[in-house]
């Protein structure tokens, strides 16, 4: 893999939708994703581009007047998992959110998703809440947060 971590453009929309469809659960619609891609002030969509093919993507939502950014979605193509793509996407999300003046990065993850939980723990996120019945199918969410350090 020769990964280029970059911001998504509208041209990435079909590939992003294909990746999103791989992830079971609450999906982003074409319309929402298109709207988010067109509003860089409220959404930061990062893709891991492997020579023109998307290996994965991460979506960070930004609210005005809030120092907390939210990692809303993170997906790596199944055949490329376990090779550091997720780690690089989350690292880029942290750097980009820091550059945009955010002080914390927050996310919710399903309690039955050990690979993702392990990834966030390994990256220094700490559990700040456990929210029963957060997801449509009744699954619990674990909320993680990490501090973003402007000087690093």
Ligand X SMILES: CC(C)(COP(=O)(O)OP(=O)(O)OC[C@H]1O[C@@H](n2cnc3c(N)ncnc32)[C@H](O)[C@@H]1OP(=O)(O)O)[C@@H](O)C(=O)NCCC(=O)NCCS
Q: Are 55 and 76 in contact (CB under 8 A)?
A: yes
Report the nearest approach of ligand X to the CB of residue 143 (Å): 11
Report the nearest approach of ligand X to the CB of residue 65 (Å): 25
CA distances from 51 to 1, 16, 40, 55, 82 (A): 8, 15, 24, 9, 19
Residue among 38 and 87 whose Cβ is closer to ligand X: 87
Residue among 101 and 130 whose Cβ is closer to ligand X: 130
CA 97 – CA 39 distance, rounded (Å): 15
Token readout for 36 is: 């988010």
CA distances from 47 to 66, 77, 119 (A): 24, 11, 18
Binding test (CB under 6 A) with ligand X, winner from 29, 87, 127, 130 = 87
User: Which of these ranges, 7-15, 27-35, 77-85, 132-140, lies near ligand X under the rule CB under 6 A?
Assistant: 77-85
Binding test (CB under 6 A) with ligand X, winner from 36, 46, 97, 119 = 119
Site for ligand X in 10-29 (CB under 6 A): 23
Within a 10 A sphere around the Cβ of 98, how many other Cβ atoms? 18
115 lies in the site for ligand X, by CB under 6 A: yes
Binding region for ligand X (CB under 6 A): 23, 74-76, 81-87, 107, 109, 113-116, 118-119, 122
């Amino acid at each position: 893999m020769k990964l280029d971590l970059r911001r998504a453009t509208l041209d990435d929309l079909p590939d992003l939708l294909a990746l999103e469809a791989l992830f079971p659960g609450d999906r982003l619609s074409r319309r929402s994703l298109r709207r988010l891609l067109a509003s860089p002030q409220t959404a930061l969509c990062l893709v891991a581009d492997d020579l023109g093919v998307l290996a994965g993507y991460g979506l960070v939502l930004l609210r005005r007047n809030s120092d907390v950014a939210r990692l809303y979605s993170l997906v790596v193509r199944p055949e490329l998992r376990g090779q550091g793509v997720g780690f690089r996407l989350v690292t880029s999300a942290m750097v980009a959110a820091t550059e945009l003046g955010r002080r914390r990065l927050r996310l919710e993850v399903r309690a039955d998703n050990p690979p993702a939980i392990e990834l966030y723990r390994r990256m220094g996120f700490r559990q700040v809440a456990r929210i029963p019945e957060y997801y449509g199918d009744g699954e619990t969410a674990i909320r993680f947060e990490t501090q973003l350090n402007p000087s690093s």
